[in-house]
Amino acid sequence: MTSPTSVNVADLREVARRRLDPVLDSYFAGGAGDERTLRDNEAAFDAYRILPRVLRGVGTRDLRTKLFGETISMPVLVSPTAFHRLAHPDGEAGCARATAAADTIMVVSMAATTAIETIAAAAAEADRPPRLWFQLYPQPDLAFTESVVRRAEAAGCGALVVTVDSPVFGRRERDLRHGFLDLPDGLCCENMRDPETGGIRSIVMDAGLDWSRIEWLRQITRLPIVLKGILHPADAALAARHGADAVLVSNHGGRQLDGVPASIDALGAVVDAVGGQLPVLLDGGIRRGTDALTALALGAVAVGVGRPVVWGLAAAGEAGVRQVLELLRADLDRAMALAGAGSPAELTPDLIRPVVRR
């Protein structure tokens, strides 16, 4: 179990730091280049302030949120992160059970160390129905990509989250210094298993990826398609034209191109660009309910958390993930009450003010 002093995500991060091998802790914590974007993702929230409303009669708050016709208990999702079994033996299966118990969505990474079928079975153990989406790096081999999509569909995934910010791997210098280049023996990317040979393929980052691949995906699946890694408003506007059903404002946790804006700083322009045609989600730097509130008020319909989930796993396995999600739920609920909002729909841009430094 976690320490009773773990009263917020930052406390769990410290527990995880103590329990993880330093090389693995560095892998999960690190970013690309000089890690400017990594730092900015959290620090950027300090440039916004909440301007609360009062006397709003918010004795009862309702955090439920609808995405693609399904209602989840709160607008906080589990963003895709790789290699959960490096953090704890419970791995992705434990994360799925915790997420299902919280009645929200887990986005399963293509680079999971547990097969999507096993993750879906674990999620189904909860009292509530499992809610899984699947994160996809489209591979140059279209037949193999389609086979992965079919596995996600058969496992009951409710959407495809297509990562579009990775034409090549970002240069993660922490990993290079520590020599962390591959998974240890006994672990592999189970969702990359070749359906014909049974062997594990490497994930290929495809610099030739373009909008035609999104159109191809739209033709082969009925699942909603979420484009993850949108920062430029022009790309957000193009998404609807090419078959996307939502966009996720993200800079890959600062792990790809260093020096891009913090996710929260890119959100407003993306929301304006889609003009209500598509839902906009966000991940990157969410550590408190007030961070989530800020993003929701600025136009996101939901936010995702990645590293906090890994820290919860490292701290206490499945129970640690449950704690992360319930800490964020309680913190968001409290922040909404104090801001005078009874539901996410009542979180509007007028509640947020940028900080003017003198």
Active site residues: 252
CB contact at 8 A, 324 and 310 = no
* b/e 205-234 (16+ beta carbons within 10 angstroms → b): bbeebeeebbeebbeebebbbbbbbbbebe
CB contact at 8 A, 34 and 336 = no
| Strand locations in the chain (E) | 48-50, 65-67, 70-72, 76-78, 106-108, 132-136, 160-163, 225-230, 246-249, 280-283, 302-305, 352-354
CA-nearest of 29, 72, 38 to 178 is 29
Q: DSSP letter for 193, please.
A: B
Tokens of 274: 């889609």
Return the bridge partners of 335, or none.
none
Helix, strand, coil shares, percent, the chain, to 5: 45, 15, 45
Residue 202 has phi, psi (to 5 degrees) of -80, 145
Return the bridge partners of 227, or none.
162, 247
CB neighbour list of residue 118: distance below 8 Å, 6 or more residues apart:
92, 93, 190
CA distance 332 to 287: 11
Amino acid at site 254 = G
For residue 103, how many other CB atoms are within 10 A of its CB?
A: 18
Could you identify the residue written with the tokens 């081999």?
Answer: 141
